[in-house]
Amino acid sequence: MAAAIRIKGVLSPVVTPFKADYAPDTERFVKQCKWLISQNVGLACFGTNSEANSLSVAERVELLEALVAAGIDPGRMMPGTGCCALSDSVKLTAHAVKLGCAGALMLPPFYYKGVPDEGLFRNYSEIIQRVGDSRLRIYLYHIPPVSQVAITLPLIERLIKAYPDTVVGLKDSSGDWNNTKAVLDNFAKTGFSVFPGSESFLLAGLRNGGSGCISATANVNPAAIDKLYTEWQNADADAQQDALNRVRSTFAKYPMIPALKAAVAHYAGDPAWGTTRPPLVELDAGQRAKLVDELTAIDFAMPGLQARR
Amino acid sequence: MAAAIRIKGVLSPVVTPFKADYAPDTERFVKQCKWLISQNVGLACFGTNSEANSLSVAERVELLEALVAAGIDPGRMMPGTGCCALSDSVKLTAHAVKLGCAGALMLPPFYYKGVPDEGLFRNYSEIIQRVGDSRLRIYLYHIPPVSQVAITLPLIERLIKAYPDTVVGLKDSSGDWNNTKAVLDNFAKTGFSVFPGSESFLLAGLRNGGSGCISATANVNPAAIDKLYTEWQNADADAQQDALNRVRSTFAKYPMIPALKAAVAHYAGDPAWGTTRPPLVELDAGQRAKLVDELTAIDFAMPGLQARR
């Protein structure tokens, strides 16, 4: 394994703000990213919860460049760069490396279902060879509930063997702890970075050699999640995990992305944040009010974001 | 409904040839498209079987322009233009309209699963309004086994009501005759064009008001499929359908796209045709030999393509 400093801790698949005409809202995006960084949370921008697959390649390139231009450290960024088209994945990945990003979080091509591991291996292999940059660090993105295309244990093993300095980690959004545990047990001890895709598995992951988590709700509850990441060996770690779970499960009652955006809109006092790009639909007024009531009932109020107002 | 001439009959989701480095092979693509046109088969290029979702927007634009530059009538083209990103769908659809294509075959955004019909309606509605061209004819593309996102009957009804001159048809690749029948029964009588996504349902579709079919195997068996389209009211129509089914079911024993390409490679005497872009994998030598044996056993030999050699 390369000796380069590896990104770890808590990362957020940053929600992407849109203007009323559904164009990406660069100004609000930069502001949100700066706030997350101030909460010690890294930027897994262009993830599932970022509506990244509703953005064109050019839109993603422009947003990432805006973050760097705003002075945010690319060493705290792990942008999503895995697309259906090999040519798009190569372009986005090369761009992220050129900007100095700590890593690239890579979905498998997700249109065709039931493809063989050989085809997925070729996809990643071609990207690595075409990018052709020793700084590239790939984090595989396993999210079968959405992508419907899995990153299997044999595929991980084959990729690590072929590209030990490049294929260095995985985000597991399967929601299946048994799978996360299997990835940890098989690969973590050799330095492979495993990030559960939800803070629900943060503590269990850390106790089994995990590297942190990359979680939707890190968009709204960053400080508390980072606190558990820092204090996971403390006596109150299980209580901290329980508190995180209460927030998570409240958001999980709603369509996650619209709910995250509704919360940012509410606590930042900035209704424009509520907009989602089609095919997603924002929460309606009733849902928004209910979400805030439920969050208030568990004493959650995004204090960091409120301070930003 | 508009009085413009509506494309109908048999269309092929044209297989896309790749060079050894996986770049699209424009020359072979144009040649294949000209051959299909000579067989009276229209070009639903950039469909699922075209590996379209493995192509970037720029790659699709270039290939479509090459067809028009080669003198092929855009009135015989229904390119796939539906992407995950609204911005990409708008770009491809506007481009197809500008070139004079007969229609655009549009997948719903397919990354996010379980999205509400309202979100899909907004997607199509935004595309129609942004393209803003009265020549646009949209054919909805229902292929839940792959896209995992369905075009429901209520969504079709809502889109037809909102855009009666624009949303004029649907390709049904559900593989579920009951769904095709329901779409036909509900919408065909008002002029909505319904294309089953397989020639297996060509005759049944025509008997219920269908407009033809858009089928993978039209890449390899175009003349016979078009013959049934033309002669469906003849006494031997059921026998013709049975013969088509034998060819289809032979290909269906293999991964469809690699098998189609292997057949073109074999009968055109042009091995380069076998290449598939990752994440797909070409048939191996044993599979190729077995496929040809099985096709030979049913007296199938792509005579039109052999004549091209």
Average pLDDT over residues A29-35: 97
Say yes or no: A75 contacts chain B, CB-CB below 8 A.
Answer: no
Whether pLDDT at A157 is above 60 = yes
Distance between B107 CA and the closest CA of chain A, angstroms:
11
* Nearest residue in chain B measured CA to CA from A109: B279
**Which pLDDT belongs to residue B2?**
41
Considering just the CA atoms, what is the radius of gyration of chain B in Å?
18
Q: B93-106 pLDDT, tens per residue?
A: 999 999 999 999 99
- The kind and range of the H/E element at A301 are none
The alpha carbon of residue B288 and the mean position of all alpha carbons in its chain are separated, in whole angstroms, by 24
pLDDT (0 to 100) of residue A304 = 73
Q: Reading across the β-sheet that carries B212-214, which strands appear in turn? A: B42-43, B9-12, B212-214
Using the Cβ of B122 and the Cβ atoms of chain A, whether some distance falls under 8 Å is answered with yes
How far, in Å, CA of B124 to CA of B121, rounded? 5
- B91 close to B57: Cβ distance less than 8 angstroms: yes
Q: Considering the domain B9-234 in this protein, what is its CATH number?
A: 3.20.20.70
> Does B108 contact chain A (CB < 8 Å)?
yes
pLDDT value of position B4 = 57
Going by their DSSP bridges, the two strands B9-12 and B42-43 should be labelled as: parallel
Four-residue CA torsion sign, A153, A158, A159, A165? positive
Q: Report yes or no: A211 and A193 within 8 Å, Cβ to Cβ.
A: yes
Cα angle at A51 between A172 and A134, to 5 degrees? Answer: 55
Q: Is A119 on the interface with B (CB under 8 A)?
A: yes
> For the sheet containing A193-196, what is the strand order?
A104-106, A138-142, A167-172, A193-196
Q: Say if residue A22 is exposed, middle or buried (CB neighbours under 10 Å; 0-12, 13-18, 19+).
A: middle
CB B265 within 8 Å of CB B32:
no
What is the reported pLDDT for B1?
38
What distances in angstroms separate CA A49 from CA A37, A181, A205, A258, one per listed residue?
Answer: 17, 23, 21, 9
Domain-by-domain residue ranges, chain B? 9-234
Residue A130 burial (C-beta neighbours within 10 Å; 0-12, 13-18, 19+) = middle
Give the span between the Cα atoms of B131 and B39, in whole angstroms: 32
Sort A182 into a burial class: Cβ within 10 Å, 0-12 / 13-18 / 19+: middle
When pLDDT is averaged across residues A212-224 and rounded to a whole number, the result is: 97
Rounded to whole angstroms, the Cα distance separating B16 from B24 reads 7
Chosen for mutation from A21, A56, A60 (greatest number of chain B CBs closer than 10 Å) is A56
- Which helix (H) or strand (E) covers residue B172, if one does? strand B167-172
**A123 pLDDT exceeds 50?**
yes
Count, residues in chain B: 309
Record: contact B85-A53, CB cut-off 8 A? yes
- Which pLDDT value is given to residue B3? 44
Q: Which residues of chain B have pLDDT under 70?
A: 1-4, 306-309
Nearest to A94 by CA among A135, A151, A148, A154: A135
Dihedral angle sign, alpha carbons of residues B234, B235, B241, B246: negative
Task: Specify the pTM.
Answer: 0.97
CB-based contact, A71 to chain B, within 8 Å: no
CA distance B249 to chain A (A): 19
- Shortest CA gap A41–chain B (Å): 25
What is the residue type of A186?
Answer: N
Q: B265-294: b or e for each residue (b if 16 or more CB lie within 10 Å)?
A: bbbbebeebbbbbbbbbbbeeebbeebbeb
Residue A268: the pLDDT is 93
Distance between CA atoms of residues B173 and B214, nearest Å: 9
- Name the closest residue on chain B to residue A122, using Cα atoms: B278
Looking at residues A35-58, what average pLDDT do you find?
98
What six digits make up the tokens of A167? 């294929």
Cβ contacts below 8 Å, chain A against chain B, sum to 115
Nearest to B120 among A55, A118, A279 (CB): A279
Q: Where do the H-state alpha helices sit in chain A?
A: 26-38, 57-69, 86-98, 117-131, 144-147, 153-162, 177-187, 202-207, 222-230, 237-251, 256-268, 285-297, 303-308
Exposed / middle / buried, residue B156 (Cβ in 10 Å: 0-12, 13-18, 19+): buried
| A138-142 vs B212-214, strand pairing mode | unpaired
What average pLDDT does the structure give for chain A?
A: 96
> What are the pLDDT digits (tens) for A182-209?
999 999 999 999 999 999 999 999 999 9
Residue B281 contacts A where some CB pair is shorter than 8 Å: yes
Residue A308: pLDDT band with limits 50, 70, 90: low
Query: What is the H or E stretch that residue A171 is in?
Result: strand A167-172
Q: What is the pLDDT of residue A302?
A: 82
Q: What are phi and psi of B170, to 5 degrees?
A: -150, 140
